[in-house]
Every structure is written in structure tokens, then in C-alpha cells.
Amino acid sequence: MSGARAAVLGAIRQSLGRGPLDAAAQRALDARAPVHPRPQLDGELIERFIARATVQAMSVRRLARRSEIPAGVAAYLTQHNRPLRIAVAQPLRALDWPGTIAVESRAAQQDDAVSVTPCFAAIAETGSVVLLSSPETPTTLNFVPDDHIVVLSTSQIVWHIEDVWQRLRARGTPLPRAVNIVSGPSRTADIEQVVQLGVHGPRRVHLLVVDEDLSFASSSKRNEL
Amino acid sequence: MHGTTQEFKQNARIALKDVTLQTALGGLSSGLVARRAKAVGALPEFESLREEARRTKDHILENLDHYLERYEAAVVQAGGIVHWARDAEEGARIVVEICRNAGAKSVTRGKSMVGEEIGVCEALEKAGMRVVETDLGEYIIQLAHEPPSHIIVPAVHKTRAQVAELFAAAHEPRGIRGERKEVADLVNEARGVLRDEFFRAEVGITGANFLIAETGSNIIVTNEGNGDLTSTLARVHIVTAGIERVVPTLEDATLFLRLLARSATGQASETYTTLHTGPRRPTDLDGPHAYHVVLVDNGRSRVLGGEFRDMLRCIRCGACMNHCPVYGAVGGHAYGWVYPGPMGAVLTPLFVGLDTTRDLPNACTLNGHCAEVCPVKIPLPDLLRRLRKRQFDAKLAPPAVRWGIGLWAQLARRPALYRFVTGAAIRLLSVFGRRRGRFASLPLAGGWTSVRDLPAPQGETFFSAWRRQGGTR
């Protein structure tokens, strides 16, 4: 409703005691590149990330090579007694999955128990993984299954949240539909302020942190820190 | 949403005698308050972030029209649609129209205070649609047919036994049974019930913690993941947001995110921070086909122009109410509208009007704790004082109160007269109270002495005692 738009903007300007900003003032605002204070973080980057992720109630396993990912997933399924049927994001499909596990690549369905996805980046400050929506990495995989296994390379770990924005801008394309910054399993404290995991999203989030570079994550256009 | 702000005193009286409510509220200080203190203590930069946040919000408000236009253009660029609503009624009408056009029978909702403010739920139900709240706390109070009593933990006033009863009443007719002893049982039961609703709904409505002008994204922050399931599984995603939610860049949003999580729930970051930008792309396998944003003014542009502009910095963390002794005693429902606690005591009169909200700015001890914990440094006690002055100027207080305050003002402005009158009154009271040491009742002070005794003065005023003991400045 354009009438409402004009009315709201007009009311804002009236309250500010001025008309629309001129072109020069608008350019100055658009050029604003704020650098706000960031938390000082110390220690070693990868260790800090893993420590934070653990505090956020994620389980973490380190692997040396990408070829170890399928075995890492299989071990998790056995350990937690999960069904041997997993929804795997397309970029991980090409891995050498054992014949005992049924692997499907698609958006999540209501009865999916376990998903395995790559991620775009991981943040040491908050112990979070950053997941982008795409035809190969549908968002539902991050939220519908009970168990979400996220595969990342140590080279994807950055210090601060702002480093993720830089990497996103460096892709040179507009943001995808969804950018999910996930810091652990779903939780609530809505009943008597008791913290309870697994209310709507995954009950468990497991990270496989691989020392080797993961070529399937190349769409992230890695920059040097 | 229709409120009962006129009945604050009555609401508060009932709340104070509600044993179950008092039990539930008793957990606030050990829970959210302690968690916040720990999280803030672990971040040495917290104070500098607060100051930076205050400055940044002021900059945004000073250029609000520009950032809203930039935001709108970016949403359109990403394939989304922006609607503007002057008031609550227009906002609700727009949401209903979008849902109707989408052929919606069932609508899921993530927690949104603006949604409550404009009455989205009532409007959709009136239009014949089914609305399901998906935030666990909101779902509980929806079953109880109650408004939220807290902006972060809306069902904080309910005990687990009450939740168990609500679930039994709502779910057993549908054949869902189970143990309802532990919090875990209840959470699991809700997970199962609401999972079906997520997959069934045609439209999902969420709020927005921030709108990013640079990218046209809305950010929602949740711990449960309900906002993400709401926005991802429905065919249409609607975002309702106040016009003051806009921030220029991703970096600005980050500044506020660091403050929000710590202030609201005492976490370094909430579990899910999600940026939504437009509808699903042509080759995406999931996500909504249409993405709408409803920008709600509803009084905000007016507040921008006056002495209450500071209030528009609010990021809705709830820290002020967690630390408020009045909120802690009476809970959120007593405030009678969407926003409770100190921020509500300021916002409600500004949005709803001074006349029906007379008690709210007065239900405050001016202890200042709210301002100390506010992550964007809103001077809440000052704003409450200004509202009191406005009430006085608008002649809204009862004549006796106005007369009393007027008399007091005359006295307080004349130091010599003030000393003389108070000195005489003190001497008089000390003579009459010498025997018992206190007064069980006093003329003109029945409100005070009805619940406690007034200690009898010792015979001189503070000023004279100070002078006699040789006190200096």
C-alpha cells in the first residue's frame, strides 16, 4: 500500500524535523563501514572453536582426512543407536559410503532421523557452524532430523562473527535464502526455566572436524584470515 | 490486542496473592538474572559494546527513513515483498490478506511481540484460520488462552504442573497420552504435536530481531528452532517487524546480537541465529515460495519526534523486567498489555495512550536497576518520570493527588518555608509518637499505614541534625 508507505516515511521525517536526505548525505550513509568493538579472543583457533562448541553442547570428533568421514558417521550411528538411513547433502554424496548405510540426498522429510551436511564456516567466538541454503544443501536438513552431523574442515574456522560476513561478501553473490548460524542442539527453558535440549530442532549436533581441506566446500571461496 | 492496563492496581493485588504465580516468579532471580550476570562478567568488552550500541541506535534513528528505504529496496531485489502498516489494524489486515491469498487454513507463528501488538492471532482466527503458536512458551499460554507475561519466556508464570494439565486437556482428546511428570516429558510431547503443525501449515509468520538494510535480510534469534521450522516449511513466510528494527549492516547486527543473547538469556549466543533473504530460489529444494515483510509503525514515528525517542533503541531483551522488583512481585499480566516491566511501563502509555495507562509509570520504585542492565542504555527511570509529569500536566491524576503534589511543589521550591514546615511537623509527630515509637494510623497517610507502621521521628529533621553534628558537604 503506497499510501501507507508515504505516510510512514513522511511521519518519520516530520519527527526528525527534515525532508528526505539529499544525495550527498545518502552517499555518506551508504559509505559507512562500521568497525565495532569485538571480544578479545586468545588461545589457538581450532582448540578455541572446539572448546566453545563443546560448551554449546555439541559433540566433536577430529578426523585427519576426508576419506574418514563415512566411518566417522557410521561410528556415530552405532554409538547412538541410530537407524542406518541418512539424508546426506549432495556435496557429501560422492564420499565412499559403506554399503550398510542407506544414503539419500534431498530435502528432509518428517521421518528423517539423521542428516549429514557440510557447512560454510565455523566461528571460534561462539562455537557455531554457519550453514547456507542452496539446491545442494537444503535448509530442512539442518532442522528436521533428530541428529544433525556437520562436517567441516579446520580451514573453515574463523575467529569472529564478522569474519563470516567478510567471507560471504567475498563470494560475490547475493546472500542465499537462508544463512543459519547454529550453536548447538535445539533448547528451551520455557518451563520453569529448566534448560531442556531438543525441543523443535535437532536433539543432538555432532561435528566432524577434518584437518584436510574439503574441496566440496570450495563454494565458500576461502580467503586468508 | 485489547488490554486491561486500566486495572493495574486490581491486577497487581490479585497477582500478589496468587501463590502459584509467586512460586513461578521466585525463580526469576536465580535463573535469568544469575545467568545474565555470569555471561556479562565473562565479556570484559560488555560496557564498551553497550555504549557503542547506544550510539549506533541513535545514528540509525536519526536516519531511519534512509535505512528503511535501503532495506526495502534490498528485500525487493531478493524477490521479497514489503508492506507498510500505519497502525495495528492495518498491519493485521495486511497479514490476513496475504494468508487468505495463499489459501491458508492453518498458520504457524514464531514468537513475535509486534505480532501480539497488532493482534495477528485474533485477526486470523476471526478470518476463520487456525493459528498455532510454535514457541513452547507461547504454545503453553495459547492453550491457556492467556497473553504472554514476559517477552522472552512468555509462560514464566506457569508451573510444570499447570503445563501438564494444559497438555492433558488439549492432547488427550487427540489420543496423545504420556507421562507428564518431568519437564523433559512435556517438551517431548510438545515436540511431537508441533512437528505435525509445522508440516501442515500453509503460512508461517515470524517476527524479526533485526532487519538488515545492506542485504534485505531479517534476522531471527531463537533457542528452540521453531522460527526456522515456521519459516522454512510453510509455502509463504511473513515477517512482522516494527520500523525501528532496521540496522544498516551485518556488522551493526553483530554488535546487537552480542548484547542481546547475554542480556536476554545469559548465553554467549543463542542456539539459532538465522538470516532470511527473500523466498526460495528457483532451484532450491525447500523454503517458502513467497516472502513478505510487514513494517509496522503503530506510533513509533510519533515517539521518534519527542522526548521518548530513547525508547526506540530497545532490542526487546527483557533484562529490565528480570531485574525489576515490581515485575518480580506482580508478573507480566498485571501490566495488562503486550509489553510488561519497565520497558512496557514506558511503551504502553506511548502506544496505547496516557489516560488508560495511568498506573503503569507510577508502579515503579525508581531504583534504577533497569537502566543499569539495559544493553542499549535506555534511561528508563527518567522516561517514567517524564511520563508522570505528562500525566500531571494532562490533569490525568485524581484531584487529591494533583492537589497534594502541587502543594508539595510549592513547598519544595521554598527552602526556608520547607525547613520551617517540616521542622514543625517532625516535632509534632515526635511528641505524639513518643509513647509508642510508631504510628499505626495517620490522617492523610492511610495508604501508607494500612500495610505498615510509620516509625515516629526522633524530634528533628535531617537538616538540623546534620548542622548540629557539624556536617559539611
CA-only gyration radius of chain A, Å: 21
Tell me the pLDDT tens digit for each residue of B15-39. 999 988 888 888 777 789 999 999 9
Contacting residues of B for A177, CB less than 8 Å apart: 276-281, 284, 287
Tell me the pLDDT tens digit for each residue of B220-234. 999 999 999 999 999
Instruction: Please answer yes or no on whether B45 and A188 come within 8 Å at the CB atom.
Output: no
Q: Is the pLDDT score of B2 beyond 70?
A: no
Q: Is the pLDDT score of B465 beyond 90?
A: no
Interface probe for B, chosen from A1, A2, A12, A90 (most Cβ of B below 10 Å), is: A12
Instruction: Please answer yes or no on whether A193 and B140 come within 8 Å at the CB atom.
Output: no
Give the list of residues 6+ apart from residue B56 with CB closer than 8 angstroms, or none.
A34, A36, B247, B252, B255, B256
Strand arrangement, sheet containing A204-210: A59-63, A204-210, A147-153, A114-118, A85-88, A102-104
Tell me the pLDDT tens digit for each residue of A4-39. 999 999 999 999 999 999 999 999 999 999 999 999
Contacting residues of B for A192, CB less than 8 Å apart: 24, 27, 159-160, 183
CA-only gyration radius of chain B, Å: 25
Instruction: Look at phi and psi of residue A89 and say left if phi exceeds 0, alpha if psi is from -120 to 50, else beta.
Output: beta
How far, CA to CA in Å, does A139 sit from each of A82, A107, B213, B233, B452?
Answer: 21, 8, 23, 10, 60
| This prediction's pTM | 0.93
CA angle A162, B75, B81 (to 5 degrees): 150
Instruction: Please answer yes or no on whether B136 and A192 come within 8 Å at the CB atom.
Output: no
Q: Is the pLDDT score of A225 beyond 50?
A: no
Distance from CA of B436 to the nearest CA of A (A): 46
pLDDT score at A221: 40
Taking the C-alpha atoms of residue B87 and residue B92, their distance in angstroms, rounded to an integer, is 9
On the CB side of A63, how many CA atoms lie within 13 Å of its CA?
22
Domain with CATH 3.40.50.10420 in chain B: 5-302
Question: Out of A125, A161, A178, whose CB is closest to B276?
Answer: A178
Question: Out of A40, A133, A199, whose CB is closest to B287?
Answer: A133
Taking the C-alpha atoms of residue B184 and residue B181, their distance in angstroms, rounded to an integer, is 8
Interface size between A and B, measured as CB pairs under 8 A: 256
Q: Is the pLDDT score of B444 beyond 80?
A: no
pLDDT score at A219: 44
| Mean pLDDT within B133-141 | 95
ipTM score for this prediction: 0.94
Instruction: Please answer yes or no on whether B63 and A110 come within 8 Å at the CB atom.
Output: no
Q: Is B44 on the interface with A (CB under 8 A)?
A: yes
**pLDDT confidence bin for A2, thresholds 50/70/90:** confident
DSSP letters, B318-342, are -HHHHT-HHHHHH-SGGG-SS--HH
Tell me the pLDDT tens digit for each residue of A63-122. 999 999 999 999 999 999 999 999 999 999 999 999 999 999 999 999 999 999 999 999
Q: Is B79 on the interface with A (CB under 8 A)?
A: no
Share of chain A above pLDDT 90, in %: 91
Share of chain B above pLDDT 90, in %: 75
pLDDT score at B399: 86
DSSP letters, A154-186, are GGGEESSHHHHHHHHHHT-SPPPSEEEEE-SS-
Q: Which CATH superfamily is domain B5-302 in?
A: NagB/RpiA/CoA transferase-like (3.40.50.10420)
